[in-house]
């Protein structure tokens, strides 16, 4: 499959009280057409920052994004998103690359009806649409995400809908311009378990029925194991392991990945004590030149604190950043 998105050495920093806080450190990720990749790791590892950085939603003075390139293949051309001006980037966001955010309550205007908000998203990328039935198009996408009574929801205000309904509206809004890439940032984390199941069933349907490329950001490894084609494990702003989902879950190579999987509850062994990862995630500004996980790793040696390992090849589709490999 051809690469649709290729991220090379992407870094991002936030600024707070004259302190530079590195959130991404030379991240390399690629996404193929029709593929679903997952970005996994603990809170604070840089998952959400990655989504914002790709869409150039981190700006000075709050932060900065640097890197070699973010190559996006659109039609037959390849463009570097990092080099685009804001006016050009606005033509990409919401049309070619869409984002579903974590909190469904904060992403919609509470005093504007759903149909008006969906129409605005559509009109931004379709300047000549006076004769188009935008409400009809919006209703089609509300049906696509399995919302009951789409006609009623279309003319509702966000505060009249549940969290699960709002998240489906957000997904419909992200899909309404037929993007090539859908980025979903923890799309089920604020919902209860039964609603999570319905939302994920819908994502599976999108994966099966549409040739949609997806970046699925989550800390839920169980969801990732069932949904993603490939997985990138992040820790302290870096990718520490990447590979096909089956390799990551059956033959994890990095001590951090192994620790994450060991911390999962085992449904077939009730009463088994859960394992935890010792220590805490280091503050981004305090990370030294070596492996950021070294202080929490039972396999670390002196060299781990003083030298950053490169990604090492385990097989053609599996890589890890660990000195012991």
Q: How sure is the predictor about 270, in pLDDT bands with cuts at 50, 70 and 90?
A: low
Bridge-based pairing state of the strands 36-40 and 312-315: unpaired
CA distance 60 to 86: 13
What is the per-residue pLDDT for 244? Answer: 98
150, with CB counted inside 10 A (0-12, 13-18, 19+), is buried
| Average pLDDT along the chain | 91
* pLDDT value, residue 199: 86
Element (H, E) at 214: strand 213-218
pLDDT value for 200: 87
Residue pLDDT, tens place only, 126-159: 876 666 889 999 999 999 998 999 999 999 999 9
Sign of the four-CA dihedral 211, 213, 218, 222: positive
The kind and range of the H/E element at 24 are strand 19-32
**Mind listing the pLDDT tens digit for each residue in 56-112?**
999 888 999 999 999 999 878 899 999 999 999 999 999 999 999 888 888 899 999
CB 231 within 8 A of CB 242: yes
Whether the pLDDT of residue 206 is over 90: the answer is: no
Which range of 124-133, 252-261, 267-276 scores highest in mean pLDDT? It is 252-261
- Extents of the domains making up the chain: 3-104+183-228
Q: Which CATH class is domain 3-104+183-228?
A: alpha beta
Q: Is residue 134 within 8 Å of 122, Cβ to Cβ?
A: yes
d(CA 25, CA 84): 21
| pLDDT (mean) for 166-194 | 91
Between residues 71 and 298, which one has the greater pLDDT? Answer: 71
Give the pLDDT band of residue 231 (cuts 50, 70, 90): very high
- pLDDT tens for each residue of 12-61: 999 988 889 999 999 999 999 999 999 999 988 999 999 999 999 998 88
Q: What is the pTM of this model?
A: 0.94
163-175 vs 134-144: helix crossing angle, rounded to 10: 120
Count Cβ atoms below 10 Å from residue 59 Cβ, excluding itself: 11
Average pLDDT of span 164-189? 93
- Residue 78: its pLDDT value, please? 94
For residue 182, pLDDT beyond 70: yes
DSSP 128-185: S-TTS-HHHHHHHHHHHTT-SSHHHHHTS-GGGS-HHHHHHHHHHHHHTT--SEEEEE
Residue 148 CB coordination number (10 Å): 10
Percent of the chain with pLDDT over 70: 96
Q: Residue 265 — pLDDT band, cuts 50, 70, 90? A: confident
Percent of the chain with pLDDT over 90: 70
The torsion defined by the Cα of 288, 293, 298 and 304, in degrees rounded to 10, comes to: -40
More confident residue, 57 or 194: 57
Q: Is the pLDDT of residue 211 over 90?
A: no
Helix (H, G, I), strand (E, B) or coil at 109: coil
Rounded CA separation 72/5 (Å): 5
Region at 165 (left for phi over 0; alpha for psi -120 to 50; beta for the rest): alpha
């Amino acid at each position: 499959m051809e690469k649709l998105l290729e991220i090379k050495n992407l870094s991002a920093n936030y600024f707070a009280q004259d302190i530079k806080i590195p959130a991404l450190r030379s991240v390399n990720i690629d996404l193929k057409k029709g593929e679903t990749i997952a970005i996994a790791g603990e809170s604070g590892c840089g998952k959400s920052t990655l989504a914002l950085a790709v869409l150039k939603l981190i700006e000075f003075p709050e932060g900065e994004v640097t890197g070699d390139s973010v190559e996006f293949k659109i039609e037959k051309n390849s463009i570097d998103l990092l080099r685009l001006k804001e006016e050009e980037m606005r033509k990409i966001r919401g049309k070619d690359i869409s984002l579903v955010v974590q909190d469904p309550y904060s992403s919609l205007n509470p005093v504007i009806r759903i149909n008006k908000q969906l129409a605005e998203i559509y009109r931004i990328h379709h300047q000549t649409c006076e004769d188009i039935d935008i409400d009809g198009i919006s209703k089609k996408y509300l049906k696509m995400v399995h919302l009951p009574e789409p006609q009623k929801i279309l003319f509702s205000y966000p505060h009249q809908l549940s969290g699960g309904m709002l998240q489906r509206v957000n997904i419909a809004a992200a899909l309404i311009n037929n993007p090539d890439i859908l980025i979903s940032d923890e799309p089920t984390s604020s919902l209860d378990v039964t609603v999570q199941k319905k939302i994920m069933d819908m994502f599976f349907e999108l994966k099966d029925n549409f040739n949609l490329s997806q970046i699925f950001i989550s800390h839920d490894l169980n969801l990732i194991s069932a949904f993603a084609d490939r997985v990138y494990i992040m820790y302290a702003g870096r990718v520490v392991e990447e590979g096909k989902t089956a390799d990551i879950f059956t033959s994890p190579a990095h001590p951090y990945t192994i620790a994450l999987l060991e911390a999962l509850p085992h449904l077939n062994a009730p009463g088994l004590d859960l394992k935890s990862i010792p220590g805490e995630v280091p503050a981004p500004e305090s990370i030294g030149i070596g492996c950021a996980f070294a202080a929490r790793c039972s396999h670390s040696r002196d060299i781990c604190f003083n030298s950053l390992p490169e990604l090492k090849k385990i097989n053609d589709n599996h890589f890890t950043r660990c000195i012991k490999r």
